[in-house]
Chains A and B, each alone.
Chain A
Amino acid sequence: MDDEKIVELYFDRNQKAIEETEHKFGKYLYKIAFNILSDRYDSEESVNDTYMKAWNTIPPNKPTVLSVYLGRLTRSISIDVFRKKSAAKRKGSQYALSVHELGDCIADKKDIAEDLEVKALAKAISDFLRTLPEDSRRLFIGRYYFMESLKDAAKYCKMSESKAKSRLFRIRCSLKDYLVKEGYYI
């Protein structure tokens, strides 16, 4: 089914939207989640949360590229799960406990200023990526957006793993220079 039709189903509040989404994007979303979480059950849960979030956010949102929209949701949900799990693992540490307790003094850990900063940073990174050759750009996005293994990312960028590794290193250095030039403190 076309993306547009699936989005229409969401707008009609037709539950078939979830079914069609799962049918068309289930594996792709699971892969993103699994790349981040490396755990089958957590990944499945993240994908299910993605469906739920999509259901709750479309409408009002009307994604033009559904795969990107859903992928972004899965990525963000999975990263949250990962962070929560990592925090839980650190519970024994007094340092982690102190940080956690001090967190109560802040209204919301992700405040508006930080949100804006992240958005501005995202724009700077997008601009930087546009200056890169196609294969380097795809390699960077594959590795750091889709969180693919180096091997997988190198494969669809048609380069060897070692070449991909050194290319990524150079991209990271260039990104650092670019961000410094843009006024970011690193």
Chain B
Amino acid sequence: MTEEMLIDAIGLIDDELINDTYNAKKRRRNISLIRSLSLAACLALVVLGAFVFKGAIGNESVNYTQTTVGDFKYGGGLKGTFSTTFTSTSGNAAINMEVKSRNPLGFTGVTADGRKFHVRITRNTGICEYGDFTAAKERVPLPEDLPLGSKVMVCAEKFKEKSGIFSEDFVCYAETIIVFVDE
């Protein structure tokens, strides 16, 4: 008997035995997935709780939920965070940010009206959607290694060149970006 024969023979063992292991693997994967999701949910609750707590002790006087940068509004979200949805009111949808520092999770910036904030990139892309939301998604990679002092424009320019419908109402969002106000 050779090793090859043994390997081939193992490949022919009964379906029932293989299926049992396959199902055990699948169950294990599902359990891991559920655990990860539960952990993520717990973490989200902790973060949420922290923000609520921070708000409750009254250290914030600024309402961040409807802040305008130039012609550009971003709204919603809890105190301390901005929503990841940006809505254009005039068609000029660029957010200009000057990069002041950088860390592995993102970079800090200054808005046109002088606010400091922090942009955290959780993955490497931003996503633009336009028109009626059913249009194809345009993926615009966000810079991963921005040089210090460079200007950052989220989504807008590339989008403009591509679509040609920039002046119309549209919603541009980057679901992978979380914007924090720098305290």
Contacts and interface: CB of A to CB of B under 8 A. Distances in A.
Contacts of B25: 142, 146, 156
Contacts, number: 81
A57 interface: no
Contacts of B29: 156
A118 B21 contact: no
B62 interface: no
B24 A122 contact: no
A137 B9 contact: no
Given A137-B17, A145-B21, A72 B11 contact: yes
B8 to A, nearest CB: 5
Decide if the interface of chain A is mainly helix, strand, loop or mixed: helix
A121 to B, nearest CB: 4
Contacts of A146: 21, 25
Contact of A67 (B6, B22, B28): B22
What class of interface size applies to chain A in its complex with B?
35 or more
Interface residues of B, number: 23
B18 A71 contact: yes
Interface string A46-59: 00000000000000
Interface string A163-185: 00000000000000001000011
A87 B38 CA distance: 48
Interface in A77-130: 79, 83, 114, 117-119, 121-122, 125-126, 129-130
Given A65-B19, A76-B8, 11 more contacts: A117-B5, A118-B5, A118-B12, A119-B12, A137-B20, A141-B13, A145-B13, A155-B28, A156-B24, A156-B25, A179-B1
Interface of B: 1, 4-15, 17-22, 24-25, 28-29
